[in-house]
Amino acid sequence: MAIILIVTVITQSDIRSVVTVTAAQSFEGAAAVTKAPNAASLSSALLSSSTKISSSATDQAASPAADKLVYLTFDDGPSKWTDHVLDILNKADVPATFFLLGEQAKRFPEIVNRIDEAGHSIGNHTYNHKYDELYSSFGVFWSQIKETEEVLRNITGIRTPLVRAPGGTYGHFDASYFKLLEQGGYKVFDWNLDSGDSKRKGVPASEIVKNVISAKQGNSMNVLMHDGAGHEETVKALPKIIEFYKSLGYEFRAITPEDTPVQFAVAPKMKNSNRPLPSNTWIQAYVVPNAALFESGAPLYVEAGGVETRLAAGEYELKMGQYQVPLRTVMERLGAEVRWNDKEQTAVITWRDAKITIYSASKILIVEALGEDPVEYAVDIDRKSGLIWLPLRTLLEVAGHDIVSVTYSSEERRVRAS
């Protein structure tokens, strides 16, 4: 039996209002800075492809590894060069963090999976990297973050709260961007060492290495590199950069949500930005509820029609003894085909042999099963973060899948339907 769901969607206009926020942590104060031991003496050795770092230089790195951390980060991927980066990281046995573009992730989903399976961290670098769109208003930036978030979740099953702004936040973010993203559950990371691999086209590997090893080294280094198209030279430079930090006794880590973000200060020109800001109504509807998506807790497994899907803690909630779920998320994961009509603001979802029309404004659900008369139901519908939520039991039963069992433990929750 096939099901077609038609969902009426009401959009929220981007009404301007003033949002009071606090300034972000300054770039200069993001990490304590100490001079790296014997870094200058290592420069010439690293710049020569035939010379290895001497053991004496390595021995001079007196600080314990745990006291000095380095986070290698890669922006703008995935691309064909990402595979080469992953090979190098694997050989050196070091983790890294990849801030991915949504449109690139769609092109190279197998590389996204490889990053995830290798244990590296994945972050959100917006969808298309176009400054004129991203920094025209917060609403546009938010929509690209959400679009990329769903692309990455569909590939890996993981929803990442890690965000890096294209070009960095300096000169692009005003204080409201920082505040609203924090409210939405995101962690924004800049960097405190730029490898310079994107300063111009075709920066040679020798220059990239020199930029890194000649920089002032602190106790916690967040190194910016790129693995997008045109960054073959970064791939060539990477082994020497890894060798440099290993010689100084740094511990390599991937960024996690628990890490304190390195963030640039708000640029003076952005403190009086005239960009349109979202209304408080929009913030309450979209930003505030979003933080729940990143909360830890037991996942909910749903099985219906022989298909099983997993909802993370923030992707469902318990209301009046019933599980409430986002309609589109659940239907797509159970194998439904979803088609959106922008003009009419409706969604058509095909699943098995029936058609279900859901009217969000009137909270009416109409089921038209093949060969049967239409049946109308009143249904409890909520709207959160631009999504329609409704009771899981209602959704399954009107689709012809009666609940067979519901189980609960500290590790997981599970609903089985016919």
* In 166-218, beta strands by DSSP E: 187-188, 193-194
Phi, psi of 96 (to 5 degrees): -155, 180
Write the DSSP symbol of residue 294. Answer: G
Catalytic positions? 75, 226
Please check whether residue 30 is in contact with residue 218, taking contact to mean a CB–CB distance below 8 angstroms. Answer: no
Phi, psi of 158 (to 5 degrees): -115, 140
- Collect all residues with Cβ–Cβ distance below 8 Å to 199 and sequence separation of at least 6: none
Please check whether residue 16 is in contact with residue 357, taking contact to mean a CB–CB distance below 8 angstroms. Answer: no
* In 160-283, beta strands by DSSP E: 162-163, 187-188, 193-194, 220-226, 251-252
To which residue do tokens 């519901």 refer? 406
Handedness of CA 14, 25, 70, 49 (dihedral sign): positive
Residues 304 and 395: their CA atoms lie apart, in Å, by 11
Residues 235 and 214: their CA atoms lie apart, in Å, by 19
Residues 194 and 215: their CA atoms lie apart, in Å, by 9
